[in-house]
Amino acid sequence: MVLIIYQLQAIAAIIMIKLGDVINRNDGVGDFGEWIAKFELVARLQGVENLESVMPLFLSGGAFVVYDGLADGTKREYSELKRALEKVSIG
């Protein structure tokens, strides 16, 4: 019984994590694969469904400049947005 309570507490702690608490801003430099995996994991745990709307809030510097220059259709389609940012990521 105690083990179940600890497991439930751990799950509750994970659910309460905010995106901004564990995801650094992406400036286009570094391991994009690692960053996007963490972004998607935390977003999924938080029940975020519109990743294309949330992602720009975590972009800065060159990554945000690239995002800002993308066509509106690319910005609205998460898989296209992800692919475009991955192409220009340095690292």
DSSP state string for 12-73: HHHHT--HHHH-PPB-SBS-HHHHHHHHHHHHHHTT---HHHHGGGGB-HHHHHHHHHS-HH
Supply the pLDDT for residue 12: 56
Per run of 10 residues, the mean pLDDT along the chain (length 91 residues) is: 62 60 88 94 86 93 94 96 91 69
With a threshold of 0.85, does the pTM exceed it? Answer: no
Answer whether 83's CB lies under 8 Å from 89's CB. no
Supply the pLDDT for residue 77: 97
Supply the pLDDT for residue 39: 92
